[in-house]
Amino acid sequence: MNSLISRNLNVNIRPVQYRDLDGIEHLITQDSCTDISSKGSLFNIEWLRHWFGVLKFLSWFPNPLQYRFFGFVAEQGRTLLGMIQVSPFNRTRSTWKIDRVMLNRTVDKQGVGSQLLRYCFESILEARTWLLEVNVNDVEALALYRRNGFQRLAEMTYWEISPELLLQLAQTEPDLPNLLPVSNADAPLLYQLDTASMPPLVRQVFDRHTHDFKTSVFGVLCDAFKQWLTKTEVVSGYVFEPQRKAAIGYFQVQLDRKGEHPHIATLTVHPAYTWLYPELLSQLARIAQDFPQQGLQLASSDYQPEREEYLERIGAERIEHTLIMSRSVWHKIRESKFVSLEGIQWTDVLQGLQPARKPVPGGMSWLPKEQHRSDLPTSTNSEIVAFGNHQLHHFDPSRQSSDDEQEEEN
């Protein structure tokens, strides 16, 4: 379909305002709009109308809700062409995530979408890396992101365990003797587990730190208010290995107390302890029994083959397949090249040990200890200083001046 919007007019890109909510609602209702189906990025437009003023006020100072709804719109005249929503991915805000991109069906999606993306790249200077998640079947979105420099990082598969299967898993007693609750004191353990459970490139793009696994007092209050508002409950725990003093497994499950939506779980297991998958899923199934019977959704990535094999074996259903893509803005992520030690020649190794320049001669001379004192100069302004097995002939200017004064008196 040809674009009905004139390309000669300039496209104005600015932050989202309250008057744009009607146009955003119109974009949501369109069937052919480009939209990222990223987990947790969807929002209710009526809820946003009610809380837009509060969110706008909270965006003026640092707080956990500062970037709850942060985005830009592209307009031409009085026509809303598209909207982009972004948010920080980590606490240091070195990596940002594109939550969703919505474009009007009557515009050039590649052109307007690229302008929205480029505006984010240029205006948010603290972002070194950009991250997004897109459905593998969304051809238009994939073409837009690849056109703007995004490359594949990992593939994600979302699974759903039926309520009947949860009942079967709950009948097994989980063998988790060191299952502990999560607190801020456990943040270093969870950080080590998170970095060990992913490849180096993914770890470098995510750029998480210890404080990413801590929760502030204000964050606890916001989470409690959110759980009260959405009628949900969050339960988390981790498995501690006392011999290595490390965390080898972690889970967090968001349970729906109204029974209208499936339970959502986050699971992290150390690659060396894949036997924890059945035990942790049995624990999650037992926790879900205290709430209305709903399915349990969780994700697995392509670098976790053991998890996918186990979910297939127990009969979990695949509900979505997405692609995680990343882009470096300032090219601060260097590609690591594997170098084999067998191919290194000794000449290449010893080349770095060569002196960078010729030695500069100093004002000191080293003499062997065996040399007799008579071989030294006979001037009285010299001293013999011994250092180990060598003697240093040191010139003393003060003694030279005193010797000259003595000669004048004579």
Each residue's pLDDT tens digit, 120-146: 999 998 999 999 999 999 999 999 999
CA 261 to CA 299: how far, in whole Å?
16
* Burial bucket for residue 233 (CB in 10 Å: 0-12, 13-18, 19+): middle
Q: And the tokens for 167? A: 């009942």
Whether pLDDT at 84 is above 90: yes
Helix 276-288 and helix 305-314: axis angle, to 10°? 50
Average pLDDT over residues 77-97: 91
**Sheet architecture: strand order including 390-395:** 365-368, 390-395, 382-387
Q: And the tokens for 10? A: 């300039």
Give the model's pLDDT for residue 384.
43
CB 103 within 8 A of CB 38: no
Domains of the chain from N-terminus onward: 12-149 (3.40.630.30), 156-324 (3.40.630.30), 365-399 (no CATH)
Q: Specify the amino acid at residue 120.
A: C
Q: Which residues contact 228 (CB under 8 A, 6 or more apart)?
A: none
CA 324 to CA 228: how far, in whole Å?
32
Query: Which pLDDT band holds residue 389 (cuts at 50, 70, 90)?
Result: very low
Q: Which residue has the higher pLDDT, 339 or 298?
A: 298
Which whole-number Å values give the CA distances from 283 to 41, 55, 113, 183, 247, in the listed order? 28, 37, 44, 19, 17
pLDDT digits (tens, 9 = 90+) for 215-274: 888 888 888 888 888 889 999 999 999 998 999 999 999 999 988 889 999 999 999 999
Give the three-class secondary structure for 191: helix
Q: Quote the pTM value.
A: 0.73
pLDDT digits (tens, 9 = 90+) for 99-118: 989 888 888 888 999 999 99
